[in-house]
Amino acid sequence: MKIGLIDVDGHRNKKTGMVFPNIALMKVSNYYKQLGHEVEHAEFGYYDKLYISKLFNFTPEIDKPLITSNEIHKGGTGYDIQKRLPLEIEVCDPDYLIYPDCDFSVQFFSRGCIRNCSFCVVREKEGYITPVKPMNLNPNGTHIEVLDNNFFANPEWKSSIDYLLKENQKVNLHGVDVRIMDEEQAYYLNKLKHYKQIHIAWDFPKIDLVPQITEMTKHIKPYKIMCYVLIGFNSTPEEDLYRVEKLRELGVSPFIMPFNKAEVYQKRFARWVNHKAIFNTVKWSEYR
Ligand code: SF4
């Protein structure tokens, strides 16, 4: 059989020129290749089965009129939050050969989350946090993107750290919850080799995270930390400015996540904070 894959969100990163690999499609590829079938990114012609993945609601559909198939499988949060891969495909390791330019690995040690933030679909999609068995790494990978939603909330976080230290590659942890971070976790976080700044988040202005972030900076140098600040969802402009200025005082780099990118204030505030040359030289009162 000929199997076609379409990664609707798979646009090239403007800086790296690389496409972030789609794990579901890599598993589909591995599953069918093991059965002896031909698998490729669908561009043109007839496919016995076509798998289309879309992770984000806002990604526009891809128009590929030259592709035909009698069996189309659509999946991903962008189509249906409840839809799952069949178990026999889910348990497969990812096939990195369909992303030959990819020079990193993607990894999960847990799915789900302990929290249920009102703006986030993780709990609805993946449920409460559950440890999972790590997948094979990319043989051509030089660092690991760790995609856990809440790395340290995993009851087995220590064995995940052991795994990462043993692999001895740089890591990019996507979900570090500073609200639960204790001294031991901060110690081990600092032992990892980081690919980029460590990302934390201060989404709720009513929760004062200054003590936790201050504690974290006792173990990890503040310039190594970047803090996402959600605006336009449940905060006033004064609360947005307070969080950003507190982070500046602590030496931590703020990064604004506007809830509605089209709203003028949110767009402007995000531009002020996220363009560091502006943020470091111009006050908000002057910029706005
Ligand atoms: S902590 Fe992060 S992953 Fe967990 S529910 Fe909140 S936003 Fe989602």
* pLDDT digits 0-9 by tens, 91-130: 999 999 999 999 999 999 999 999 999 889 999 999 999 9
Q: Is residue 122 in a domain?
A: no
- What spacing in Å lies between the alpha carbon of 107 and ligand 1's midpoint? 18
Which one of 77, 81, 113 would you pick to mutate in the ligand 1 pocket, going by the greatest count of ligand atoms within 8 A of its CB? Answer: 113
Q: Over range 76-102, report the average pLDDT.
A: 93
Which residues touch 129 (CB under 8 Å, ≥6 apart)?
110, 111, 112, 113, 114, 149, 150, 153, 154, 155
Q: Is 199 in the pocket of ligand 1 (CB under 6 A)?
A: no
Q: Considering only CA atoms, which residue is closest to atom 8 of ligand 1?
A: 120
For residue 90, give the amino acid letter.
E
Ligand 1 atom closest to the Cα of residue 120 is: 8
Higher-pLDDT residue of 59, 121: 121
| pLDDT at residue 6, as a whole number | 94
The confidence band for 9, taking pLDDT boundaries of 50, 70 and 90, is confident
Q: How many CB atoms lie within 10 A of CB 262?
A: 7
Q: Retrieve residue 71's tokens.
A: 């069996």
> From the alpha carbon of 149, which atom of ligand 1 is closest?
3
Nearest CA to ligand 1 atom 2: 149
Residue 7 inside a domain? The answer is yes
- Cα–ligand 1 centroid distance for 138 (angstroms): 27
In the structure, what pLDDT confidence band is assigned to residue 217 with cuts at 50, 70 and 90?
very high
**Within-domain flag for 4:** yes
Q: Does any ligand 1 atom lie closer than 6 A to the CB of residue 230? A: no
Q: Is residue 181 part of a domain?
A: no
For ligand 1, whether the C-beta of 226 sits within 6 Å is no
Q: Output phi, psi for 177, to 5 deg.
A: -95, 100
Instruction: Supply the pLDDT for residue 202.
Output: 96
- The answer to whether the CB of 115 is under 6 A from ligand 1 is yes
Mean pLDDT of the chain: 94
Range of lowest pLDDT (7-11, 136-140, 169-173): 7-11
- Considering its fold, how many domains does the chain have in total? 1
Read off the pTM: 0.89
| Cα 20 to ligand 1 centroid, rounded to whole Å | 21
Domain span at residue 90 reads 1-95
Closest residue by CA, ligand 1 atom 1:
115
Rounded to an integer, the average pLDDT of 2-8 is 95
| Domain assignment of residue 106, yes or no | no
Look at residue 173 in the predicted model and tell me its pLDDT: 93
Flag whether 192 is in a domain: no
What is residue 59's predicted lDDT score, i.e. its pLDDT?
83
Tell me the CA–centroid distance for residue 248 and ligand 1, in Å.
24
120 lines ligand 1 (CB under 6 A): yes
pLDDT band (50, 70, 90) for residue 178: very high
Look at residue 17 in the predicted model and tell me its pLDDT: 74
Structure confidence at residue 278 (pLDDT): 96
Atom of ligand 1 nearest to the CA of 115: 5
Q: In this predicted structure, what is the pLDDT of residue 85?
A: 94
> Residue 80 falls within a domain, yes or no?
yes
117 lines ligand 1 (CB under 6 A): yes
For residues 144 and 115, give the distance between their C-alpha atoms in angstroms, rounded to a whole number: 25
- pLDDT for res 57: 80
pLDDT score at 1: 96
Choice between 158 and 64, residue whose per-residue pLDDT is larger: 158
Q: How far apart are CA 277 and CA 52, in angstroms?
A: 40
Q: Is 74 in the pocket of ligand 1 (CB under 6 A)?
A: no
* Per-residue pLDDT, 180: 93
CB atoms closer than 10 angstroms to residue 255:
17
Q: Is 59:74 a contact under the CB 8 Å cutoff?
A: no
Closest CA to 261 of 253, 246, 271: 271
Residue 62 has pLDDT above 90, yes or no: no
CB 105 near ligand 1, within 6 Å: no
Q: Is 129 in the pocket of ligand 1 (CB under 6 A)?
A: no
In DSSP terms, 49 is beta-bridged to: 3
Residue 19's pLDDT band (cuts 50, 70, 90): confident
Token pair of 126 as six digits:
């993946």
Question: Is 249 contained in some domain?
Answer: no
Give the model's pLDDT for residue 111: 96
For residue 124, report the phi and psi dihedrals to the nearest 5 degrees.
-65, -35
Point out the least confidently predicted range of 12-16, 58-62, 198-202: 12-16
